[in-house]
Structure 1
Amino acid sequence: MPLMDDEHADYVFYYPHPERATAEAVIWTEKLSKKSLKAFFLEACKDNLVLDELYNSKEPFTLYKPIGLSFDPFETLLARSRQWLREHHHIEQDKLPAAERIARAFPDGPDLDDVNILIVTAEILESLEDVGDLEARHRKVIRQREMEVRRIRESFPAPSAGVKSFSGVQMVVNDNADSFHAGRPASNHGPPVALFDPTLGLLAYYLSHLDDDIPEIEPNHLQIGAVHMFMEQALCSYENEGKRLTAIEKSLQQAIGIDMSWKQSICGIIPDAVFGAKLPYVV
């Protein structure tokens, strides 16, 4: 809502989301002037549910200094702020580092007639190119599904939690039974994952052709020994996940027989180990 004349808030934050746009003012104090822009943003979140939800979701955001973006008329602020972003979102000088002190970011103080700080997420930048209402609704559904999958994924215990003890097995298998199909429609299991990864597609093919007449693989004694060593080490109990990975690293590499990389980030996820070519197998 617009600021009233009797409010003495110096810094105005604006979140130009196409469906949840909101503004919040932070009153300048001597104590806050010595803190960072992130601290100012946290002050704005205290009395604003939309901003507080954004901060707690841990979704990355960028702060912008929209020089010349007037707060009034408030009715057109969303459209004007989004047009400003179309023209300035790629300009580094218009971005504000969250760790920068407010006094350095605004050496002459705020312009009381303007929006001082824009809060911009990747979703907002993507929405700048929307054509019509369908794209906005489609994007909203996708974002909601991504957030739900991220929430469920982060709630899962580490893999080693299921091998430490019987209670650990119960925790992994029973307590998380309803979460194994995270992100898929509630009424069914969704499309087969083999559609989205050639490695899983090949695995699905082999599993559905177990009765085919295929050449038998005859591993030598060194390969059998490597697999045995890996299984023995993997089934042991360890104090933590790090010690488990250290113990199985060498034997797993020997059993697979090709180079592996550890703790390699893929699309924001860090699997224990990755091996293969361009489209990696993930362990």
Structure 2
Amino acid sequence: MSSSTSSEQHHFVVFLPYSVKSQPKSFPVLENALVQDLEDAIRNNQNYKRFLENEELFLYKCNNLDLDPSGTLYRRALEWLCGNADSMMNSVHRLSKYFTNGPAPEKDEKVDVIAVTESILENLDKVPDLADSRAFKMTEERRARPISKIRRLPSPSEGIRDEAGIKQSTDENRGVHAHRPASNYGPPTALFNHALARLKHRLQHLDEQAELEPPPNMLFTCHQFILTSCDVHNSENDRELALTGFLNVLVGADMSPKLKTESGTAQPDAIWGDPVRI
């Protein structure tokens, strides 16, 4: 097909349901663009690049998928895909073949296109009736609970430590007290440990951070740290002493060595910042 010569642009609202926190985005393409042009625009988006690396992308024209309520968009998109998994658009056709009148008017607040990868499609059979599933209902139920009540539940580690913990976490009314994956129906692990809460927050915001470019002197220090770690030392104390200088340079000098955790069951070699409470 010949390339488009029209300069007028259409804005398509695209939703890529790769997690429960996925948000729709608007992509401008030429009025006479190919489906492939929209695929390329999605792939080149900074928020999607990492997720779409080495993944095949498929686009679907969805009908009457409202943007709001946004909290249920992920679930509604998967439900739509379950019934329309074979109706993907062909990359070689123009978007106008599927959108005769262009994308939905902005005032209608609709999703125009659902974008998915092969891995998303492969997992559709695992959530065939997401809205009616027991796990989904329990997720909604526990999200509605006050934090004070959630904290009374056993922590993730307590729930699987022994037979008594498993029995306490499992019964006919509540089902299994499961925490993973993140969209499962247990209270989040961040409620039980402030270090996990900080880690979860930072992992969820990785894509919002600029790419880090460490200075050459830091790379050299890291290299020296690795070499020293691989050396044979006379004792563990000698090894720790040899590594401490590098750690102070790389992580910071406010290191607290040999602090026991609150429970007293663990004693890390070193702690920076607040002591981790386990």
Report the TM-score when normalising by structure 1. 0.38
